[in-house]
Structure 1
Amino acid sequence: MNAVGGQDGSSVPDEEWERFLRESAQGAAGAPKEPSARARGVAGRLRDTSRARGVAGRLRDTSRARGVAGRLRDTREAPPVWRAHTPPRPRRRTARAVAGLLAVCALLLLALFPDRLLGWFDGDGATSGGAPLAAETARPDQAPAVEEARRPTLDEPFKGSPAARWASGTEGITVPAAKATGWMDQAEVARALSRTRDFLAAANLDPAVLRGERPQTAITLINPHQSDVRKTLAAAFPAPGGKPPGAEDDPLLLFSRFDTRAVRLVGDDIRTRGRLSYEKGKDGALEVTADVTFVYPVTRAAADGEEEVVRTIVRRELVLSWDDPERVETEPGTFSLLSYAVDITNGGCGRDTDTGLLRPEFAAERSASADDGTPAVDPYDRSRPVDKSAGVSADGECGTVTRS
C-alpha cells in the first residue's frame, strides 16, 4: 500500500511536511484573517446603507429627468399669459375705404332724394316720427318740432304729424301717483283719478259717441245735483223735436261727436297726449285738472276716387271737483264740473252750432276759406293754455293754424 504521494505518487518529504505544520500553527504572513461576528454585522449595515443611497440617487435622477421633460413640455404647449400683450392686427385700408365710400354715397342720396329715402322708414309710431314720446308729466315749454309735410293716407293717417309719436287712447293720458288729499285717502284718490280718465274716454273715445250718439256713460259720472250743468246737458241733448242747442249749450264743449253723414273715422286708432294733476280744493275736495289733446283721422263718408285723409284736433282742459259728501250734495262716484275749455282744429270752420257735430273740411273746402289775418296757431303746441288759443273754437269761429 502506497503512502500519500505527490504528483508522481511519491510521498511528501519530512522537511516540507514539518514546515507546513509550523506555518499552519503560526499563520502565514499576509494571509487573510477571518473577520469577527461584530465586524461582519458592521460590514453588512454599511453594504445596506450603500445600496439604499444608490437607489435614492437613481430615484432622484429619474425625478429630475421627469421634471426637465415636464418643463420642456410646458414650454412647448404653454397657453398665452393672461396679462401678456398681443399686438393688434394691422387694419386693412381697403375695408375702411369701402366704408367711407358707402357713407358718402348715402349722404349724397339723402341730399338728392330725401323724400324717397325717408319714405323707406315711414309708418306710425317709432318709424315715422322717431321713438315714441315719453309720458307727459308737466306742461312742455315749447311746441313739438315741425314735421316734414307729408300727406296722410288710409294706412298711415298720422303721417307728417307729431301725433305719429303719441300713444293711442287712454295710454296717452298720464295719471299721477295717488296720495291722500283733502277728505280722500290714497285709495280713494287713485279711484277718483281713474274715474276722471274714464270720463275722458267715454266723452272723447267711445265709438258710439264719436258716431254722434248720446254720451250716456260720461253723463252718469257728472254730479246730478249740479243744477247749472244739468241744465246745460239737457239743452245740449234735447228731446226729438226740441230746441236745437245754442253756442253756450253746444255738446262739443264736452264731447267729441262727428257728422257721419259727411265723414267717417279712419280705423279705430285715436292718438292722445296729456296729463292729469290734482290738489286740495274747496271744503277739502279733491280738485283734478285734465289737459288732453285728441287727434282724429277722418275721410269722406262717400269717397269718389282717391280717398283724402284729414285730421281733426281737439284739445280739452277740464277742472273737476270730487266733493266730500258730508259737505256737498253729490252722489257716490260722481264729480262736479268747475270749468271746461276747448280748442278745435278742423272741426267745421263757420259751421252751424245747432248740429252739435264735428264736420271737418277737405282740400276743396279749405281753399274757399281764405286766411282772415288772425295769428297762426299750432294745434299741437301744448305749452300754451287752452284759453289763449287763436285757433278754431267750439262756437264755429274761424282762425288760422300752422298744421293739422
Structure 2
Amino acid sequence: MSGVGGQDGSSVSDEEWERFLRESVTGAAGAPVEPSARAREVERRLRERPGRPEGWRTYSPARPRRRTGWYVMGLVAALALLVVGLFPQQLAGLFGGDEGGQDGKPLAAESGRPREAPGAGSGLRPTLAEPFRGSPAARWADGAAGITVPPARATGWMDTAQVERALRKSRDFLAAAGLDPRVLRGERPTKAIALLNPHQKDVKAYLRTALSSAEPTEKADPLLLFSRFRPEQARLVGDVVKTRGRLTYREGERAAVEVTADVTFVYPVTSAGEGGQDAEVVRTIVRREVVMSWDDPAKVITEPGTMSLVSYTLDMTNGGCSGPTGYFEPPFGKDGGQSADEDRRVDPYDRSKPIDTGDGTRGDGCASADRS
C-alpha cells in the first residue's frame, strides 16, 4: 500500500492520519465556528440601532399619561355648573348684569313663584330704540306669551278639555284687559267685559262706576283690572309690552274651577307731546293678581264662556301717586310732580312675594321704586 506524501514527499504516519480523521468529525479545539442565523440578525440590528441594546424577549410597558390636569378641569367645570344652577341671578349681577341686557338670553317660562328678585341689570336708561334696556324685562316674553298656562287636568265639575278651555279664556281676559292697544289708549275694554259673568251684580256695579264716572274711587278704579293711559298725556313706545307671570288653578266653591292669575306688565311710554330721539322713556310697571271662578251652570247663574270675579288686586310703579283718576300717569320729568314714600322702597320686578294689598284693593300707598 503506497502512502500519501507531503510537499517534501515525506509520508504521514498512521497515528497522525487517525488524529486528522478524528478532529475532522468532532472539531478541533479553538477552530472558528460560523454564527447562526439568529446571531447574525442580532448583530445586524445592533449595528443599525446605536445605544443600549434591548433584550430579544424583553418588554417595556408604555408610560401612563398624567391626567391630573384634566381631572381638575372637569371638577372645576362641574362646580361652576352647580353654582350657576343654584345662584343664576346673583351671578348675573356680578358679571355685567345680563339680566337686563337687551340681547340677553330669554328667560324660561315662570312655572312657580321665584325664590328671589331678579339680579341687578346694567343700570342703563331706556331709549326709544331700546325701551327695555337696563331692565330685567328685557329678557321677558312679549305680550301674552309671558303668561304661563299650566297643563290641564280634570278638576271640579270640568273634564280636562273644559279646564284647558277655561285656562285659555282666562289668559285671553288678561290679554284683553292689559295688552289690547285700544284699551291702552283709554277705550272701553269690550273684549274683556264679554268674558265676565253678566249676572254678577257686584262686578256690574264696579264696571258701571269705574268706566263711567269722571271720578273713580279706590274700590271702583278701572286700573284694578284694565291698563289705560290718557292718549293726550302718554303714548306707548313701540308695540311691545313685556309680561311675566303664570296661571294656577284648583277646585273652588260648589265644584267651580278657580283660576288665579299673577302677572306683571311692563309698559314703556313717552310723553305724548315730546318728540325726537332724546325723548324721555318711562316704564310703568303693573302687577295684577286676579282670581276667576269658572262656575258650574247647574249651580250658579252664568252664561256659557264667562266667569265670575272672586278678587282683583293691583300694585304699580310709575303710574301716579295721586288719587285714582282711572288712568296711569307716568312721572315724566325729574320727579313728575309726584310724591312717594321714601321710607317704603320696593322692587317692582320682585315676584317672590305676594302683592301687598293693604286695604284689599290696591297697593298700600305709593312707595319709591328701587329701579324701573
TM-score above 0.5, yes or no: yes
How far does residue 131 in structure 1 lie from its aligned partner after superposition?
1.3
Quick one: percent identity of the two aligned structures?
Answer: 58
Give the equivalent residue in structure 1 for 2:304. 332
Describe the shift of the 1:328–1:310 C-alpha distance in structure 2 as closer, same or farther (beyond 3 A).
same
Determine if contact 1:247/1:395 at 8 Å carries over to the other structure: no
Distance change (3 Å), C-alpha of 1:370 and 1:332:
closer
Q: Does 1:380 align with 2:349?
A: yes
Contact 1:166 1:271 survives alignment (8 Å): yes
Partner of 1:312: 284
Match in the other structure for 1:203? 177
Instruction: Give the letter aligned to residue 217 of structure 1.
Output: K
In the alignment, which residue of structure 1 is the partner of 2:5? none
In the alignment, which of 216, 227, 231 is matched to residue 245 of structure 1?
216
* Cα pair 1:135 1:172 within 8 Å, conserved: yes
Residue of structure 1 in register with 2:367 after alignment: 399
> 1:177 aligns to what SS in structure 2?
coil
SS at match of 2:174: helix
1:141 & 1:275 partners in 2: Cα distance? 15
CA displacement 1:161-204 (0-9 Å, x = unmatched): 00000000011000000010000000000000000000000000
Contact 1:143 1:382 in 2 (8 A): yes
Shift of 1:148: 2.0
Instruction: Tell me the amino acid that sits aligned with residue 297 of structure 2.
Output: P
Q: How far did residue 364 of structure 1 move?
A: 2.3
Residue 269 (str. 1) matches residue 219 (str. 2): no
Unpaired stretches in structure 2, ≥5 consecutive residues: 1-61, 66-95
Q: Which amino acid aligns with 1:258?
A: F
Does the 8 A contact of 2:101 with 2:121 survive in 1? no
Q: CA deviation at 1:389?
A: 7.8
Structure 1 segment 219-234 matched on structure 2, within 5 A:
219-234=193-208
Q: Quick one: distance in 1 between partners of 2:339 and 2:328?
A: 20
Matched residue SS, 2:282: strand
Contact 1:320 1:337 in 2 (8 A): yes
> CA separation in 1, counterparts of 2:140 and 2:230?
25
Please give the per-residue CA displacement for 1:257-283, whole angstroms capped at 9, x wherever unaligned.
011111100011100000001011111
Larger radius of gyration, structure 1 or 2?
A: 1
Letter in 2 for 1:398: C
* 1:134 to 2:103 alignment: no
Contact 1:123 1:156 in 2 (8 A): no
**Is 1:347 matched with 2:339?**
no
Match of 2:117 in 1: 143
Q: Deviations over 1:211-238 (max 9, x none)?
A: 0000011001010111001100011122
Q: Distance in 2 between matches of 1:182 and 1:388?
A: 29
Q: Which has the higher helix share?
A: 1
Normalized against structure 2, the TM-score is what? 0.70
Contact 2:357/2:363, CA 8 A, preserved across alignment: no
> Structure 1, unaligned stretches of length 5 or more?
1-84, 89-117
**Contact between 2:331 and 2:338, CA under 8 Å: does it hold in 1?**
no
Q: Note the alpha carbon deviations across 1:143-172, whole angstroms, 9 max, x for none.
A: 000112101111110000000000000110
Instruction: Measure how far apart 1:394 and its partner are.
Output: 5.0
Return the alpha-carbon distance in structure 1 between the equivalents of residues 289 and 177 of structure 2.
13
Partner of 1:174: 148
Contact 1:343 1:389 in 2 (8 A): no
Partners of 1:373 and 1:180 lie apart in 2 by 48
> Is the Cα–Cα contact under 8 Å of residues 152 and 161 in structure 2 kept in the other structure?
yes
User: Aligned letter for 2:348?
Assistant: P
In the superposition, relative to structure 1, how do residues 199 and 297 fare at CA in structure 2: closer, same or farther (>3 Å)?
A: same
* Aligned partner letter, 1:379: P
1:243 Cα deviation after fit? 5.4
* Partners of 1:385 and 1:201 in 2: CA distance: 21
Q: Return the alpha-carbon distance in structure 1 between the equivalents of residues 253 and 235 of structure 2.
A: 43
| Aligned residue number for residue 21 of structure 2 | none
Aligned counterparts of 1:216 and 1:396: Cα–Cα separation in 2: 29
> What does the per-residue CA deviation read over 1:21-75, in whole Å, with 9 as the maximum and x for residues that have no partner?
xxxxxxxxxxxxxxxxxxxxxxxxxxxxxxxxxxxxxxxxxxxxxxxxxxxxxxx
Aligned to 2:163: 189
1:260 to 227, 231, 234: 231
Superposed CA offset, 1:76-124 (max 9, x none) = xxxxxxxxx9xx9xxxxxxxxxxxxxxxxxxxxxxxxxxxxx79xx963
Whole-Å separation in 1 of the counterparts to 2:205 and 2:340: 37
SS of structure 2 residue aligned to 1:365? coil
Structure 2 counterpart of 1:288? 259
Q: CA, structure 1 residues 136+237, in 2 after alignment: closer, same or farther (shift >3 Å)?
A: same
Normalised by the size of structure 1, how large is the TM-score? 0.65
